[in-house]
Amino acid sequence: MLAHAWRSVSSIAVLLIFCVAATDAFAQTADPSCGNSGAAGQAATTMPVDDGNSPTLPKSATTPEGFVPAGWRIEKKLEGDLDQDGDADLVLVLRKTSPRNIVSIDADGCLVPFDTNPRMFVVAFHKRSPDSYSLAVASHTLIPREGLPVPDSNLINAWDPLKDVLIARGNIMLTLDYGAERDWNTITETFTFRYRDKCFQEIGYDSRESDTKSDISFTSINFLTGKKKEWGTASDNSYLRWTTLPKKALKCIDEF
Protein backbone atom coordinates (compact mmCIF):
# COMPACT_ATOMS: atom_id res chain seq x y z
CA MET A 1 0.00 0.00 0.00
CA LEU A 2 1.18 3.54 -0.69
CA ALA A 3 1.09 4.56 2.93
CA HIS A 4 3.11 1.56 4.10
CA ALA A 5 5.68 2.22 1.36
CA TRP A 6 5.91 5.86 2.38
CA ARG A 7 6.59 4.85 6.00
CA SER A 8 9.80 3.15 4.90
CA VAL A 9 11.32 6.31 3.37
CA SER A 10 14.01 7.57 5.76
CA SER A 11 14.80 11.22 6.37
CA ILE A 12 17.89 12.50 4.55
CA ALA A 13 20.70 14.63 5.93
CA VAL A 14 19.87 18.26 6.49
CA LEU A 15 21.08 20.62 3.75
CA LEU A 16 20.48 23.86 5.60
CA ILE A 17 19.44 24.41 9.22
CA PHE A 18 17.27 27.32 10.25
CA CYS A 19 18.38 29.15 13.35
CA VAL A 20 15.64 30.10 15.78
CA ALA A 21 15.66 33.77 14.91
CA ALA A 22 15.53 33.15 11.19
CA THR A 23 12.65 30.75 11.61
CA ASP A 24 10.64 33.24 13.65
CA ALA A 25 11.26 36.00 11.12
CA PHE A 26 10.38 33.72 8.23
CA ALA A 27 7.13 32.63 9.84
CA GLN A 28 6.14 36.23 10.43
CA THR A 29 6.88 37.42 6.88
CA ALA A 30 5.52 34.44 4.92
CA ASP A 31 2.78 35.50 2.53
CA PRO A 32 -0.35 33.37 3.20
CA SER A 33 -1.62 34.13 -0.31
CA CYS A 34 1.30 32.26 -1.89
CA GLY A 35 0.08 28.98 -3.33
CA ASN A 36 -0.86 25.82 -1.48
CA SER A 37 1.62 24.63 1.14
CA GLY A 38 -0.25 21.37 1.79
CA ALA A 39 0.41 19.34 -1.32
CA ALA A 40 2.47 16.44 -2.56
CA GLY A 41 5.77 17.01 -4.31
CA GLN A 42 6.64 20.56 -3.27
CA ALA A 43 10.16 21.80 -4.03
CA ALA A 44 12.13 22.31 -0.83
CA THR A 45 14.97 24.75 -0.26
CA THR A 46 15.68 23.11 3.11
CA MET A 47 15.15 19.56 4.34
CA PRO A 48 13.92 18.11 7.65
CA VAL A 49 16.41 17.20 10.37
CA ASP A 50 16.60 13.62 11.58
CA ASP A 51 18.31 13.94 14.93
CA GLY A 52 17.25 10.48 16.13
CA ASN A 53 15.70 11.95 19.26
CA SER A 54 13.01 9.56 20.50
CA PRO A 55 12.49 10.43 24.14
CA THR A 56 11.42 7.82 26.68
CA LEU A 57 8.23 8.72 28.54
CA PRO A 58 7.62 8.13 32.24
CA LYS A 59 5.69 4.98 33.19
CA SER A 60 3.07 7.04 35.04
CA ALA A 61 1.93 10.63 35.51
CA THR A 62 -0.74 12.47 37.49
CA THR A 63 -1.73 14.71 34.56
CA PRO A 64 -1.58 14.44 30.75
CA GLU A 65 1.14 17.09 30.77
CA GLY A 66 3.29 14.76 32.86
CA PHE A 67 3.90 12.61 29.78
CA VAL A 68 5.16 15.51 27.64
CA PRO A 69 8.98 15.56 27.23
CA ALA A 70 10.92 18.81 27.08
CA GLY A 71 10.74 20.27 23.59
CA TRP A 72 7.38 18.63 22.81
CA ARG A 73 3.76 19.75 23.11
CA ILE A 74 0.28 18.22 23.22
CA GLU A 75 -1.26 18.53 19.76
CA LYS A 76 -4.39 16.50 20.46
CA LYS A 77 -5.94 15.07 23.64
CA LEU A 78 -8.83 12.60 23.87
CA GLU A 79 -10.47 10.85 26.81
CA GLY A 80 -12.58 7.69 26.81
CA ASP A 81 -12.88 4.27 28.42
CA LEU A 82 -10.47 1.97 26.55
CA ASP A 83 -10.15 -0.96 28.97
CA GLN A 84 -13.81 -1.28 30.01
CA ASP A 85 -13.30 -0.34 33.65
CA GLY A 86 -15.59 2.71 33.53
CA ASP A 87 -12.76 5.26 33.83
CA ALA A 88 -11.75 7.84 31.24
CA ASP A 89 -8.43 6.81 29.75
CA LEU A 90 -6.13 9.06 27.77
CA VAL A 91 -5.01 9.33 24.14
CA LEU A 92 -2.43 11.97 23.26
CA VAL A 93 -0.77 13.06 20.05
CA LEU A 94 2.49 14.75 21.01
CA ARG A 95 4.53 16.85 18.61
CA LYS A 96 8.11 18.01 18.75
CA THR A 97 8.66 21.78 18.63
CA SER A 98 12.17 22.04 17.14
CA PRO A 99 12.58 25.21 14.99
CA ARG A 100 15.11 23.27 12.90
CA ASN A 101 12.24 21.22 11.48
CA ILE A 102 10.34 24.24 10.14
CA VAL A 103 11.52 23.95 6.55
CA SER A 104 11.14 26.21 3.55
CA ILE A 105 9.11 24.99 0.56
CA ASP A 106 8.47 26.59 -2.80
CA ALA A 107 4.71 26.94 -3.23
CA ASP A 108 3.95 28.46 -6.65
CA GLY A 109 7.05 30.63 -6.53
CA CYS A 110 6.67 31.72 -2.89
CA LEU A 111 8.71 30.41 0.01
CA VAL A 112 6.37 29.09 2.70
CA PRO A 113 7.27 27.62 6.11
CA PHE A 114 6.20 24.01 6.64
CA ASP A 115 6.31 22.12 9.96
CA THR A 116 7.93 18.68 9.60
CA ASN A 117 8.37 17.97 13.31
CA PRO A 118 7.69 14.31 14.23
CA ARG A 119 4.76 13.12 16.32
CA MET A 120 4.35 10.57 19.08
CA PHE A 121 1.17 8.56 19.73
CA VAL A 122 0.50 7.99 23.44
CA VAL A 123 -2.14 5.98 25.31
CA ALA A 124 -2.43 5.86 29.10
CA PHE A 125 -4.91 4.10 31.39
CA HIS A 126 -6.52 5.95 34.27
CA LYS A 127 -5.83 4.50 37.73
CA ARG A 128 -8.03 5.35 40.71
CA SER A 129 -5.58 4.59 43.51
CA PRO A 130 -3.59 6.71 43.40
CA ASP A 131 -5.36 9.04 40.96
CA SER A 132 -2.96 8.89 38.01
CA TYR A 133 -2.35 7.59 34.50
CA SER A 134 -0.32 4.49 33.59
CA LEU A 135 1.50 4.52 30.25
CA ALA A 136 0.28 1.83 27.82
CA VAL A 137 1.55 3.01 24.40
CA ALA A 138 4.26 5.42 23.29
CA SER A 139 4.75 5.00 19.54
CA HIS A 140 7.14 7.12 17.49
CA THR A 141 6.28 5.31 14.25
CA LEU A 142 2.48 4.97 14.13
CA ILE A 143 1.96 8.44 12.64
CA PRO A 144 4.31 8.98 9.67
CA ARG A 145 6.39 12.10 9.69
CA GLU A 146 5.33 14.73 7.17
CA GLY A 147 7.79 16.41 4.87
CA LEU A 148 9.72 13.27 3.92
CA PRO A 149 11.81 13.63 0.75
CA VAL A 150 10.57 12.25 -2.56
CA PRO A 151 13.29 9.83 -3.81
CA ASP A 152 15.68 11.12 -6.49
CA SER A 153 14.41 14.69 -6.41
CA ASN A 154 14.58 17.98 -4.53
CA LEU A 155 10.93 17.56 -3.53
CA ILE A 156 9.31 16.74 -0.22
CA ASN A 157 5.82 15.42 0.46
CA ALA A 158 4.41 18.63 1.91
CA TRP A 159 1.29 16.88 3.09
CA ASP A 160 0.14 16.40 6.68
CA PRO A 161 -0.74 12.69 7.05
CA LEU A 162 -2.67 13.08 10.32
CA LYS A 163 -6.34 13.57 9.48
CA ASP A 164 -8.18 12.50 12.63
CA VAL A 165 -8.06 10.53 15.87
CA LEU A 166 -11.26 9.32 17.55
CA ILE A 167 -12.38 7.18 20.44
CA ALA A 168 -15.55 5.29 19.46
CA ARG A 169 -17.19 2.41 21.35
CA GLY A 170 -14.00 1.77 23.29
CA ASN A 171 -11.89 1.68 20.11
CA ILE A 172 -9.16 4.03 18.94
CA MET A 173 -9.61 5.09 15.31
CA LEU A 174 -6.65 6.73 13.60
CA THR A 175 -7.14 8.22 10.12
CA LEU A 176 -4.16 9.08 7.91
CA ASP A 177 -4.38 11.00 4.64
CA TYR A 178 -1.75 10.96 1.92
CA GLY A 179 -0.91 12.71 -1.32
CA ALA A 180 0.97 10.39 -3.62
CA GLU A 181 4.54 11.08 -4.66
CA ARG A 182 4.80 12.96 -7.99
CA ASP A 183 1.08 12.98 -8.79
CA TRP A 184 -2.28 13.79 -7.26
CA ASN A 185 -3.40 10.31 -6.34
CA THR A 186 -4.62 10.27 -2.74
CA ILE A 187 -5.27 7.58 -0.18
CA THR A 188 -7.02 7.80 3.17
CA GLU A 189 -6.55 5.00 5.69
CA THR A 190 -8.35 4.39 8.98
CA PHE A 191 -6.87 1.96 11.50
CA THR A 192 -9.12 0.71 14.31
CA PHE A 193 -7.49 -0.56 17.50
CA ARG A 194 -9.08 -2.30 20.50
CA TYR A 195 -7.48 -3.27 23.80
CA ARG A 196 -7.39 -7.08 23.79
CA ASP A 197 -4.93 -9.59 25.24
CA LYS A 198 -2.88 -6.87 26.95
CA CYS A 199 -2.24 -4.77 23.86
CA PHE A 200 -4.08 -2.50 21.43
CA GLN A 201 -4.75 -4.82 18.49
CA GLU A 202 -5.66 -3.72 14.99
CA ILE A 203 -9.19 -5.07 14.55
CA GLY A 204 -10.18 -3.04 11.49
CA TYR A 205 -8.77 -1.31 8.44
CA ASP A 206 -10.54 0.96 5.93
CA SER A 207 -9.11 2.81 2.97
CA ARG A 208 -10.23 5.08 0.15
CA GLU A 209 -8.00 5.67 -2.88
CA SER A 210 -8.66 7.98 -5.83
CA ASP A 211 -6.70 9.20 -8.84
CA THR A 212 -6.83 11.85 -11.54
CA LYS A 213 -8.82 9.53 -13.85
CA SER A 214 -11.75 9.59 -11.40
CA ASP A 215 -11.17 5.95 -10.51
CA ILE A 216 -11.93 5.30 -6.87
CA SER A 217 -11.50 2.22 -4.71
CA PHE A 218 -12.53 1.29 -1.19
CA THR A 219 -11.26 -1.47 1.08
CA SER A 220 -12.71 -2.55 4.42
CA ILE A 221 -11.22 -5.33 6.56
CA ASN A 222 -12.59 -6.82 9.77
CA PHE A 223 -9.64 -8.69 11.26
CA LEU A 224 -11.84 -10.29 13.92
CA THR A 225 -13.96 -12.06 11.30
CA GLY A 226 -11.31 -12.24 8.57
CA LYS A 227 -13.65 -10.64 6.02
CA LYS A 228 -12.32 -8.21 3.40
CA LYS A 229 -14.59 -6.10 1.19
CA GLU A 230 -13.35 -4.22 -1.88
CA TRP A 231 -15.49 -2.00 -4.09
CA GLY A 232 -15.31 1.02 -6.34
CA THR A 233 -15.02 2.07 -9.98
CA ALA A 234 -12.25 1.42 -12.50
CA SER A 235 -12.39 2.67 -16.11
CA ASP A 236 -16.07 3.57 -15.58
CA ASN A 237 -16.90 0.03 -14.42
CA SER A 238 -18.03 -0.68 -10.87
CA TYR A 239 -16.96 -3.76 -8.93
CA LEU A 240 -17.52 -5.51 -5.59
CA ARG A 241 -15.39 -8.31 -4.16
CA TRP A 242 -15.51 -10.24 -0.88
CA THR A 243 -12.50 -12.20 0.37
CA THR A 244 -11.88 -14.38 3.42
CA LEU A 245 -8.40 -13.75 4.77
CA PRO A 246 -6.22 -16.51 6.22
CA LYS A 247 -6.33 -16.57 10.00
CA LYS A 248 -3.33 -15.02 11.74
CA ALA A 249 -2.43 -13.23 14.95
CA LEU A 250 -3.69 -9.67 15.21
CA LYS A 251 -1.11 -6.91 14.98
CA CYS A 252 -0.48 -4.78 18.07
CA ILE A 253 -0.15 -1.02 17.83
CA ASP A 254 3.51 -1.20 18.88
CA GLU A 255 4.28 -3.23 15.74
CA PHE A 256 3.44 -0.35 13.37
Contact 204, 222 (CB under 8 A): yes
Asked if residue 228 has pLDDT above 80, the reply is yes
pLDDT band at 51 (very low <50, low <70, confident <90, very high): low
Tell me the pLDDT tens digit for each residue of 52-101: 568 999 999 999 999 999 999 999 999 999 999 999 999 999 999 999 88
In terms of Cα–Cα distance, which of 112, 158, 162 is closest to 142?
162
Asked whether residue 50 is assigned to any structural domain, the reply reads no
Asked whether residue 38 is assigned to any structural domain, the reply reads no
- Mean pLDDT computed over every residue of the chain: 80
Quote the pLDDT of residue 11.
Answer: 32
Asked whether residue 180 is assigned to any structural domain, the reply reads yes
Rg over alpha carbons for the chain, rounded to the nearest Å, is 20
pTM of the shown model: 0.78
Strand order in the sheet with 102-107: 110-115, 102-107, 39-44, 155-158
Tell me the pLDDT tens digit for each residue of 116-155: 899 999 999 999 988 999 999 999 999 998 766 565 555 6
Asked whether residue 45 is assigned to any structural domain, the reply reads no
Asked whether residue 48 is assigned to any structural domain, the reply reads no
Asked whether residue 41 is assigned to any structural domain, the reply reads no
Asked whether residue 141 is assigned to any structural domain, the reply reads yes
The domain of 185 spans 2-32+55-255
Domain count, the chain: 1
Least confident of 38-47, 73-82, 228-237: 38-47
